Amino acid sequence: MASSVIARRYASAYFDVARDDGAVEKRGEDLARAAETLSNGEVVGALGNPRLAVVDRVNLALDLIDGVGESARNLCRLLVERNRISALPGVLEQYRILADRARGLVRAQVTTATEVTDSLRGLIADALRERFGADVEIEMSRDPSIIGGLVLRVGDRVIDNSLRTHLQQLQASLR
């Protein structure tokens, strides 16, 4: 099963519990703290080490995230028991998407070749607001290698309208 599907399932279940408890923000903070601690390469290696008993791996994880809320601890326990702790950063990302959606917020990453004027940024925000029917938070970045146009990422969707991609497609069609 693809890691994004796994992450989405765990995030969805965790989000449902947080929403039912009215603690979406708090549970998100707990999950972020746990992910920050347990996503270190050495920690992931230790928690996935088959030579350690599962109970020892679980205890190690819980010791490392002492002070994190019980729901996040339970989720981490489950991920360690099922040898899926490496999915934790993806779970956090998917949880944030669900929490944003519940608040009526869409986060978009827009990559352009050059600096974008405030007026163009406003036009992009308006178009996204209309398309998704939600408030939009835009993170702008520059990548001169795309030559022109833009690359838009919203959640797990990517719309690549860059000149680089169009030239690559043209080159491929001429072969």
Tokens 């308006």 identify what position?
A: 126
Domain co-membership, 113 together with 150:
yes
Residue 58's φ and ψ, nearest 5 degrees, are -65, -45
Distances 139 to 110, 120, 136 between C-alpha atoms, Å: 6, 13, 10
Residue 29 is encoded by which pair of tokens? 């903070």
What CATH number corresponds to the domain at position 88?
1.10.520.20
- pLDDT tens for 43-92 read 999 999 999 999 999 999 999 999 999 999 999 999 999 999 999 999 99
Check pLDDT > 70 for residue 2: no
Q: What is the 3-state secondary structure (H, E, C) of the chain?
A: CCHHHHHHHHHHHHHHHHHHHCCHHHHHHHHHHHHHHHCCHHHHHHHCCCCCCHHHHHHHHHHHCCCCCHHHHHHHHHHHHCCCHHHHHHHHHHHHHHHHHHCCEEEEEEEECCCCCHHHHHHHHHHHHHHHCCEEEEEEEECHHHCCEEEEEECCEEEEEEHHHHHHHHHHHHC
C-beta separation of 165 from 133 below 8 A: no
Domain co-membership, 74 together with 144:
no
Residue 106 is encoded by which pair of tokens? 């869409």
* Total tally of structural domains belonging to the chain: 2
Domain co-membership, 76 together with 94:
yes
Provide the pLDDT for residue 1.
54
Decide which of 100, 121, 146 is a domain's last residue.
100
d(CA 28, CA 21): 13
Check pLDDT > 90 for residue 110: yes
Write out the residue range of the structural domain in which residue 40 sits.
Answer: 3-100
Check pLDDT > 70 for residue 12: yes
Average pLDDT, the chain: 94
